[in-house]
Amino acid sequence: MSQKERTYQVAIVEDHLLQRKRIEELMRSQDEFEVVFSGETAPAFMSWLNDASIDESPDVLILDLMVERQPSVDVDLVKTLLAAGYRIVVLSALASPPLVRSIVRAGVSTILGKRDTEADIVDAIRATVRGEQWVTAELAAVIAGDPDRPKLSIQEERALVLYATGLSLDEVASEMNLQRYTARQYINRVKSKYEAAGIPARTRLDLGRIAWNDGYVDPILKPLEPQ
pTM of the model: 0.64
Does 76 lie in the same domain as 158?
A: no
The residue segments making up the domain with residue 197 are 154-213
Q: What is the CATH number of the domain that holds 195?
A: 1.10.10
Whether 149 maps to a domain, the answer reads no
From first to last of its 227 residues, the chain has per-residue pLDDT tens of: 344 578 999 999 988 888 899 999 999 999 999 999 999 988 899 999 999 998 999 999 999 876 555 555 678 888 899 999 999 998 876 656 667 777 777 888 888 876 788 998 899 999 999 888 887 766 666 666 666 778 888 889 889 988 988 899 999 999 889 999 999 999 999 999 999 989 999 999 999 888 877 767 654 444 444 44
Whether 221 maps to a domain, the answer reads no
Which amino acid does the sequence have at 135?
V
Dihedral, CA of residue 209, residue 213, residue 66 and residue 91, to nearest 10 = 160
Does 121 lie in the same domain as 71?
A: yes
The number of folded domains in the chain is 2
